[in-house]
Structure 1
């Protein structure tokens, strides 16, 4: 993500007069430690008290703790790749759990560990049993764990052949599994780009995000503002679509157009991004609201060395604000915020967005003041 903003703090009134916002920037004192910013700190999680951010460090296979009140490095927790306490070669995602535990997903395995890197509980997707006694026999692509009286692990499994998404819910207590088919044609399937050329078969699919916010499992999409909510025990809550103010609510699909080459796929994917791209919502526990970024991208005509997408000329970034029931309250255009990709979260009623300051970890912080 690249952000070009003045460090001077000031309130700026937006057009609809519903809110004011202030932008600030902060840098983290790493205290000489090499933090891993290669993945935009997407493999990270905030603790429940919003005091510390825990982020994966692939350089030494550890989790670094950042104190967000002091804005400095606080601690490092080491893990093993192999053996009885092995996490696997690399982290794919992590959740910080109550009591100082971590839920860690790597390739084809996931488990709960303590801060000393000791295994607490493996998650056995492969041998889990569904309602008719069949063995699951696979591992989801995305996983999160939500703490509740009956620990549940939620996973997304992709049926690429049929362009469908399965939402799988595993109970750690009895190793039982429940599979739900998401009605994802309009939010996922119609944005999959698949074809074959002289180099062989290719498959380009949009992101589907699985996140945990406010004790909910939330499924969201790149090119549709649709949100699907499940509670912490795996019960469906509701599906949400809303009318965005600054962007379309969904990109227009290519309506079954045949994709003839990788270059053609790149042009169609560019067409989606030029309309809108949505990112996952996060929960503001202080002001009891959800916040979500979206953007529109303008590209140049130049592709460097045959890259999949051309260079970006500019982006327009928008911040959507919802109440606790996910009713849209208002949306803000944030001029000068050139968001590409990266971790964001709410802390102390403010919106924190990951920033790389010349390989130093920092954040852009947006504070919103309602006028109503």
Structure 2
């Protein structure tokens, strides 16, 4: 199979603090996009992982970036500058460990998430509490339970919600982890059937080497947890007060409503498996839902193939907007990377952009 490349058309800038703009509209709905660049001064801002190790402050003014170079970089989003660099260490009594994500809670504590542990740091990083994740340290877990990497923190900052899977990497439901009580409450429901057709396996010489699926999405919206997959045009809502599950299905006029089930999902080599997964990218992929507290609306970006140019694939990006009850309001193509890191600040949606290896954002404002 020919090598596939991914192309997106994005507005770019080439000077610190500058902006470029574009507009798109459909009926009464309008999107304006300004692309801004963060001034790093004489420093280098870490964003090679697409801002996967980041957290937004409660006042939406600062973006915290955890760098594997053992430092936390704090971006001032109002002045568009690198504001502060705080050195960290992996080992020792104040070590961050091998963390894959960070959170900021309501009190300003920094929380580092690892695959088998969570570390709670004070806001000035002067103290740390370490909690292990596993059936040996938490009651309510089975030894075969496996946690995913998408985690949401409860409003009280004490408990975490996370998707749990079985040993075959099939998601089984949600788990609420209380570190104070060292307990896990599992909330099982049917999600495995929505994921199983899209699990890819590497089998070499008759031995299963690995298996997995694309990451699922988890979002906390008021008193609801929203779970979704990249495969279907729907949202699974879990009401935290009523403990009920509701499935909302949507219809798109611009894409298919589900990713086609692949004919083959097993590869006998790394290259064969990679080719199978690259072929799957030619069909629709749904992104996570993003909630804007200011407008009480929910936004989602999806990706679908627009056309092929030689060995390259050109994708289109589709924005869908819902009200707080998940009634679909708008569906429109926009020139923003649908799968990049995004967050809301003051009612505007910020989307990560790599501008010639510098940190930038496409800042979107919506008018209805």
CA contact (8 A) 2:146 2:165 kept: no
Residue 43 of structure 1 corresponds to: 53
The one of 146, 156, 159 aligned to 1:152? 159
Q: What is the CA-CA distance between 1:100 and the residue it aligns to?
A: 1.3
How many residue pairs are counted as aligned between the two chains?
A: 352
Distance 1:2 1:268, change over 3 A: same
Match of 2:194 in 1: 187
- Taking structure 2 as the reference length, the TM-score comes to 0.84
Residue in 2 that maps onto 1:308 = none
Taking a change above 3 Å as real, the CA distance of residues 53 and 150 of structure 1, as seen in their structure-2 partners, is closer
Return the offset for 1:192: 0.6
CA–CA distance in 2 between the matches of 1:150 and 1:349?
Answer: 24
| Residues 288-299 of structure 1 aligned to structure 2 (within 5 Å) | 288-297=296-305
SS of match in other structure, 1:281: strand
1:84–1:246: structure 2 CA closer, same or farther, 3 Å change rule? same
Residue 331 (structure 2) aligns with: 331
Change in Cα spacing, 1:198 to 1:346, as seen in structure 2 (3 Å) is: same
Partner Cα distance (2:157, 2:280) in 1: 40
Contact 2:198–2:262 (8 Å) recurs in 1: yes
Distance 1:216 1:165 in 2: 18
Unpaired segments of 5 or more residues in structure 1?
A: 303-310
Question: 2:354 maps to what in 1?
Answer: 356
Aligned-partner SS, 1:70:
coil
What is the match of residue 225 of structure 1? 233
Q: 1:248-307: per-residue Cα shift (whole Å, max 9, x none)?
A: 22112136x5635345544443343222111111111221111111011368698xxxxx
- Return the offset for 1:231: 5.3
1:9 matches 2:21 = yes
Partner of 1:259: 266
Deviation at 1:143, TM superposition (A): 5.0
- For residues 104 and 222 of structure 2, what CA distance do their matches in structure 1 show? 14
Secondary structure of the structure 1 residue equivalent to 2:288: coil
5 Å-filtered alignment, 1:124-143, equals: 124-126=132-134, 127-130=137-140, 140-142=147-149
Paired position in structure 2 for 1:172:
179
1:5-54 deviation line (CA, Å, top 9, x unaligned):
2654343333xx14111121100111222111111002112122221111
Tell me the residue number matched to 2:86: 77
Cα distance in structure 1, aligned partners of 2:146 and 2:191: 20
- Tell me, in whole angstroms, the C-alpha distance in 2 between the residues paired with 1:159 and 1:21: 42
Alignment of 1:311-330 (within 5 A): 312-330=312-330
Q: Say if 1:114 and 1:235 are closer, same or farther in 2 by CA, change over 3 A.
A: farther
TM superposition shift of 1:120: 4.1
On the 8 A contact 1:20/1:369 being kept in 2, the answer is yes
Q: TM-score, normalised by structure 1?
A: 0.83
Residues in 1 aligned to 2:25 and 2:338: alpha-carbon distance in whole angstroms: 24
C-alpha root-mean-square deviation of aligned residues, in Å?
2.9
Equivalence for 1:273 = 281
Question: Does 1:366 pair with 2:364?
Answer: yes
Change (3 A) 1:12 1:340: closer
Q: Which runs of 5+ in 2 are unaligned?
A: 1-6, 13-18
Offset, 1:118 = 3.5
Structure with a larger share of its residues in strand = 2
